[in-house]
A and B are shown apart, each in its own frame.
Chain A
Amino acid sequence: MKSWNRAALAAALCLAAAGVQAQQTVNIPDVIELSGAGAVSGTNWKDGVTLAVDEINAKGGILGRKIVTTHTDTQSNPGVSRALVQKALDNDPYVLLGPVFSGSVKVNMLLAQQAEVPQFTGAEAADITQMGNPYIFRTSFGQQVSMPKIANYVRDGIKARSVAVVWVNNDFGKGGRDSFIKEMGSRGIKVVADVSTESGQVDFAADVVKVKNAGADCIFVYTNEEESARFLREAKKQGIKVPLLGETTLLGQKVIDLAGDAANGARGHVGLSVDVPVPAIQEFKAKFSKRFGYVPDHNGIKGYTAVYAIKYVTTKIGKFDRKLFAKTMHGLTITPAMEPGILIETSWDDKGDIDRISFLAEVVDGKQKVTATLPKLGK
Chain B
Amino acid sequence: MALLQILISGLATGAIYALVAVGFMLLWQTSQTINFAQGEFVMLPAFFVLGAMKFGGMPFWLAIVVGLLLSLIVLGVLFKVLLVDPMLRHGVLPLVISTIALALFFKEGVKTWYAAEAQPFPALWSNDNLEIGGAVISVQNLVIIVVAVTAVLALQWFLARTRTGRCMQATAQNPALARILGVRVERMILYTFLINAALVALASFLISPIYLAKFSNGETLGMAAFIAAIVGGFNQVRGAIAGGLLLGVVDNLAASYISTQYRGAIPLFLLIAVILFRPQGLLGRAEERSV
A→B interface (CB under 8 Å) = 34-36, 39-40, 43, 169, 195-198, 200, 202-203, 205-207, 209-210, 212-213, 226, 229-230, 233-234, 236-239, 254, 257-258, 260-262
Which of A196, A205, A212, A238 is most buried by chain B, counting CB atoms within 10 A of its CB?
A205
A202-B211, A237-B138, A238-B5 given as contacts; is B129 within 8 A of A197 (CB)?
Answer: no
Contact of B140 among A212, A226, A237 (CB under 8 A): A237
Instruction: Give 30 pairs: A residue, B residue, CB < 8 Å, sorted on A.
Output: A39-B117, A40-B118, A196-B260, A202-B211, A202-B214, A206-B6, A206-B251, A206-B253, A206-B255, A206-B256, A206-B263, A207-B255, A207-B260, A209-B2, A209-B9, A210-B256, A210-B260, A212-B5, A213-B2, A213-B256, A226-B117, A229-B118, A230-B211, A234-B210, A237-B129, A238-B129, A238-B138, A257-B120, A258-B118, A258-B212
Q: Name the A residues within 8 Å of B216 (CB-CB).
A: 36, 200
- Of B10, B116, B120, B131, most buried by chain A (CB within 10 Å of CB) is B116
Given A205-B10, A205-B13, A238-B129, decide whether A43 and B117 contact each other with a Cβ distance below 8 A.
Answer: yes
Query: B143 CB to closest chain A CB, in angstroms?
Result: 11
Q: Name the residue in A234, A261, A262 with the highest tally of chain B Cβ atoms < 10 Å from its Cβ.
A: A234
From B111, B116, B210, B211, give the contact of A237 (CB < 8 A): B210
- Please, which residue of chain B has its CB at the minimum distance from the CB of A258? B120
Give residues in B with beta carbon < 8 Å to A: 2, 5-6, 9-10, 12-13, 111, 116-120, 127, 129, 131, 136, 138, 140-141, 209-212, 214, 216-217, 220, 251-256, 260-261, 263-264
Q: Which residue of A lies closest to B211 (CB)?
A: A202
Q: Are B12 and A205 in contact, with the CB atoms below 8 A? A: yes
Give Cα A368 to B217, complex, Å: 28
CB distance from A215 to the nearest CB of B (A): 11
Interface of A is mostly: helix
Partner of A210, one of B12, B111, B255: B255
B6 close to A209 (CB less than 8 A): yes
Cα–Cα distance between A207 and B256 once the two chains are bound (Å): 7
**Complex partner residue of A203 from B13, B127, B209, CB under 8 angstroms:** B13
Q: What's the Cα separation between A185 and B221 when bound, in Å?
A: 39
Cα separation A234 to B119 with both chains bound (whole Å): 16
How far does the Cβ of B127 sit from chain A's closest Cβ, in whole Å? 6
CA–CA, A200 to B223, complex, Å? 15
A296 vs B210: C-alpha distance in the bound complex, in angstroms? Answer: 23
Instruction: Return chain B residues, CB-CB under 8 Å to A260.
Output: 120
Shortest beta-carbon distance, B64 to chain A, in Å?
A: 18
Residues from chain B with Cβ under 8 Å of A195 in the complex: 260
A261, closest chain B residue (CB): B127
* Residues B210 and A209 in contact, CB atoms below 8 Å apart: no
Bound form: Cα–Cα A55–B13 in Å: 48
Contact B252 A206 (CB under 8 A): yes
Q: Is the CB of B116 within 8 A of A34?
A: yes
Please give me the residue from chain A that is nearest to B6 by CB atom: A209
Q: How far is the CB of A254 from chain B (nearest CB, A)?
A: 8
Complex Cα spacing A200 to B2, Å: 26
| B252:A226 contact, CB within 8 angstroms | no
Q: Report chain A residues within 8 Å CB of B10.
A: 205-206
- Does A205 lie within 8 Å of B252, measured CB to CB? yes
Q: Which of A34, A40, A43, A206 is within 8 Å of B260, CB to CB?
A: A206
Whether A226 lies near B214 (C-beta < 8 A) is yes
Q: Which residues of A contact B255 (CB under 8 A)?
A: 206-207, 210
Return chain B residues, CB-CB under 8 Å to A262. 127
Name the CB-closest residue of B to A169: B261
Partner of B9, one of A43, A206, A236: A206
Which of B13, B127, B217, B256 lies in contact with A236, CB distance below 8 A? B127
CB distance A39 to B129 under 8 Å?
A: no
- Per the bound structure, the CA–CA distance linking A236 and B210 in Å amounts to 11
Given the interface pairs A43-B117, A238-B138, A239-B129, the reply to whether A203 lies near B211 with Cβ below 8 Å is yes
With A203-B13, A237-B127 as known contacts, state yes or no: A43 contacts B116, CB within 8 Å.
yes
The docked-state distance in angstroms from the alpha carbon of A169 to that of B263 is 13
Contacts of B12 in A (CB 8 A): 205
Complex contact B212–A239 (CB within 8 A) = no
Contacting residues, chain A, for B264 (C-beta < 8 A) = 198
Which of B6, B254, B264 lies at the interface centre, i.e. has the most chain A CB atoms within 10 A of its CB? B6
Residues of B within 8 A of A203 (CB): 13, 210-211, 220, 251
Min C-beta distance of B174 to chain A, whole Å = 39
Query: How long is the Cα–Cα vector from A345 to B2 in the complex, in angstroms?
Result: 49
